[in-house]
């Protein structure tokens, strides 16, 4: 036996997904099971009761009718006291039969209440065999006769060594039971329909507090919780604290209180850190500039200075210059964190890219610098100085963290309402453990992208790129793998 490979499996029945639907369906299913149990019990009980009544009627009827069949259906002239009996006062549908040695010799059926029995009834060989198998213990049995359907019959031994069978039809009992089944089905079906509709409204009304808790949670989930101070919405509405929904609402309110307290403390801590960075950077500018100025002044002294002193003064001047740049970067980040707006003037990105790549080529002649610019100029609203700083930081990052001979490609293109600025290099790539935090402040890899790279900063260059892009309502992304690293800045046009 082979199975078809393309045979489709039957789809599972859809299941209710919401709690409201599950409760309603569960209520209707339980009621349906209860109605089915009640209906089945009523049908079984009624069928048994009517069958017992029919059996009692059979006992009362006795063998009067089949006794009359011993004389080929001829009725005696006397009344009930005749020793052979008669068919008077027999119910319509009464069946009688006389069997000798398992063969039906006489049979009759009262069709219309007439005291005369209609003997013209056809019984098949199977019917005769069924009648012959009925025990002569005087207990009612059910027999299916092909010409008469189901009959409740009693077999008793006759006076002449024969067997006398009398029966009453089960059709009235079956009709009554069937009518009860129909009525029960209609009534229970209507009850299920009404209960389903009413139960849906009841469940919906009962779950209203849970819906309000859900609405509050949805409003909280839509808040920008990661962006500084956030005012949480009103708490979940008060409900019965003894109910499950009430306890859920109370726990949810406590959770919101903890979240709000944590957000408040975090915002206060971040504000203190920002003020410290801004104040420290501002205070450091003057002494750093003073140190640098004195070092340069000492280098200009006309008197002879030992080489060691000259080298030390030059290192002091270089490090103070680097420290000054770091202070400027910290001040810029502090201003961006404070939400200070930048200039919003038209900036020609094409010209800006040309200038930045020219500067990078002069600073890194050992790299291969490639430009890919569109034919038409690309203009965006923004701060030209800060956007130049974004591109300069990306190019410096590619130059400082890749070996000599690396190809760096700068691409400028448009994508709908956005301008895309991409810096790609075929260097060793950004280490995998650094990628998630590459745009965070002071993020530096323990090992550079290549071991021979020199120089570097304090890990603020890419964080400035991300902050400036965000201040221009844009974004920056990174895709890196060994041999391919791409930084993409998206700016609205």
- Find the distance separating the first CA and the last CA of the chain, reported in whole Å: 68
Query: Domain residue spans in the chain?
Result: 16-60+172-206, 62-169, 223-340, 345-492
> What is the mean predicted confidence (pLDDT) over 87-92?
68
Report the pLDDT value the prediction gives residue 83, as an integer from 0 to 100.
Answer: 37
Q: Who wins on pLDDT, 452 or 249?
A: 249
Map residue 384 onto helix, strand or coil: helix
Sheet containing strand 484-492, edge to edge, reads 368-372, 407-415, 418-425, 484-492, 475-481
Is residue 150 a contact partner of residue 170, using CB atoms and an 8 Å limit? yes
Q: Could you tell me which CATH number the domain at 223-340 has?
A: 1.10.287
One DSSP character per residue, 149-178 reads EEEEEEEEE-TTS-EEEEEEESHHHHHHHH
CB 139 within 8 A of CB 154: yes
Q: Tell me how crowded residue 125 is: count the other CB atoms within 10 A of its CB.
A: 8
Mean of the per-residue pLDDT values for the chain? Answer: 78
Separation between Cα atoms, residue 468 and residue 378, nearest integer Å: 18
pLDDT in tens, 147-156: 788 888 988 8
pLDDT in tens, 269-287: 667 666 766 666 666 667 7
Q: Distance between CA 442 and CA 363 in Å, rounded? A: 24
pLDDT at 487: 92
Which CATH number does 345-492 carry?
A: 3.30.565.10
Of the chain, the percentage scoring pLDDT greater than 90 comes to: 9
CB 198 within 8 A of CB 191: no
Common-topology check for domains 62-169 and 223-340: no
Is it the case that residue 92 has pLDDT exceeding 60? yes
Indicate the burial class of 473 (C-beta count within 10 angstroms; 0-12, 13-18, 19 or more).
exposed
Confidence (pLDDT) at 99: 87
Helix or strand (DSSP H, E) at 321: helix 307-337
Enumerate residues 6+ apart whose C-beta is below 8 A from 344. 381, 382, 383
> CATH classification of 62-169, choosing from 3.50.40, 3.30.450, 2.60.40, 3.40.50?
3.30.450
326-370 tens-digit pLDDT: 777 677 777 666 667 777 888 898 898 898 898 888 888 889 999
Strand partners of residue 418:
415, 492
Q: How far apart are CA 217 and CA 413, in angstroms?
A: 41
Are 97 and 143 a contacting pair, CB within 8 Å?
no
Identify which has the larger pLDDT, 10 or 200.
200
């Amino acid at each position: 036996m082979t199975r078809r490979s393309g045979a489709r499996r039957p789809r599972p029945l859809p299941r209710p997904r919401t709690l409201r639907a599950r409760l309603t369906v569960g209520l209707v299913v339980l009621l349906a099971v209860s109605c089915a149990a009640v209906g089945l019990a009523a049908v079984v009980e009624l069928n048994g009761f009517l069958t017992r009544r029919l059996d009692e009627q059979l006992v009362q009827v006795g063998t009067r009718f089949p006794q009359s069949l011993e004389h080929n259906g001829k009725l005696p002239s006397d009344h009930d006291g005749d020793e052979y009996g008669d068919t008077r006062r027999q119910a319509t549908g009464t069946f009688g039969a006389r069997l000798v040695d398992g063969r039906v010799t006489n049979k009759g059926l009262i069709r219309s209440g007439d005291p005369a029995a209609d003997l013209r009834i056809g019984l098949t060989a199977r019917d005769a065999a069924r009648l012959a198998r009925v025990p002569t213990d005087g207990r009612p049995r059910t027999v299916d006769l092909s010409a008469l359907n189901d009959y409740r019959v009693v077999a008793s031994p006759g006076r002449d060594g024969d067997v006398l069978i009398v029966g009453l039809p089960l059709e009235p009992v079956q009709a009554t039971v069937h009518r009860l089944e129909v009525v029960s089905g209609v009534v229970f079906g209507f009850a299920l329909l009404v209960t389903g509709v009413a139960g849906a409204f009841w469940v919906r009304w009962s779950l209203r507090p849970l819906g309000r808790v859900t609405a509050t949670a949805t409003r909280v989930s839509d808040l920008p919780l990661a962006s500084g101070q956030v005012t949480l919405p009103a708490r979940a509405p008060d409900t019965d604290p003894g109910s499950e929904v009430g306890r859920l609402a109370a726990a949810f309110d406590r959770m919101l209180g903890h979240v709000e307290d944590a957000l408040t403390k975090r915002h206060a801590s971040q504000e203190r850190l920002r003020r410290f960075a801004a104040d420290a950077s501002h205070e450091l500018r003057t002494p750093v500039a003073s140190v640098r100025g004195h070092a340069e002044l000492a280098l200009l002294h006309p008197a002879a200075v030992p080489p060691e002193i000259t080298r030390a003064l030059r290192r002091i001047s270089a490090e103070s210059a680097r420290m000054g740049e770091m202070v400027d970067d910290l001040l810029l980040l502090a201003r961006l964190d404070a939400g200070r707006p930048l200039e919003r003037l038209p900036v020609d990105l094409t010209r800006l890219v040309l200038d930045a790549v020219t500067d990078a080529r002069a600073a890194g002649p050992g790299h291969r610098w490639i430009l890919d610019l569109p034919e038409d100029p690309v203009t965006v609203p923004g701060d030209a100085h800060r956007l130049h700083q974004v591109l300069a930081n990306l190019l410096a990052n590619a130059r400082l963290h890749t070996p000599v001979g690396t190809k760096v490609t700068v691409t400028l293109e448009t994508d709908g309402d956005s301008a895309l600025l991409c810096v790609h290099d075929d260097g060793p790539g950004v280490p995998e453990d650094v990628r998630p935090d590459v745009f965070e402040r002071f993020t530096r890899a323990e090992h550079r992208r290549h071991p021979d790279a020199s120089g570097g900063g304090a890990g603020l260059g890419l964080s400035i790129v991300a902050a400036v892009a965000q201040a221009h309502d844009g974004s920056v992304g990174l895709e890196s793998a060994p041999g391919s690293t791409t930084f993409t800045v998206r700016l609205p046009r």
